[in-house]
Amino acid sequence: MQLSQILQSNAVKTIASCTSKKRLFHEIGDMAESCYGMKPSAVIDALIERENLGPTGVGQGVALPHARLPGVEDVKGIFLRLEKPLNFDAVDRQPVDLVFALIAPENAGVEHLKALALVSRTFRNASVCTKLRANSDPVTLYTILTALESSQAA
- Are 79 and 10 in contact by the 8 Å Cβ rule? The answer is no
Catalytic residue among 66, 68, 81, 112: 66
- Are 65 and 99 in contact by the 8 Å Cβ rule? The answer is yes
Catalytic residue status for 66: yes
- Are 53 and 43 in contact by the 8 Å Cβ rule? The answer is no
SS3 letters across 81-143: EEEEEECCCCCCCCCEEEEEEEEEECCCHHHHHHHHHHHHHHHHCHHHHHHHHCCCCHHHHHH
Q: Residue 93: left (phi > 0), alpha (psi -120 to 50), or beta?
A: left
Residues belonging to the chain: 154
Instruction: Indicate which residues carry an active-site annotation.
Output: 66
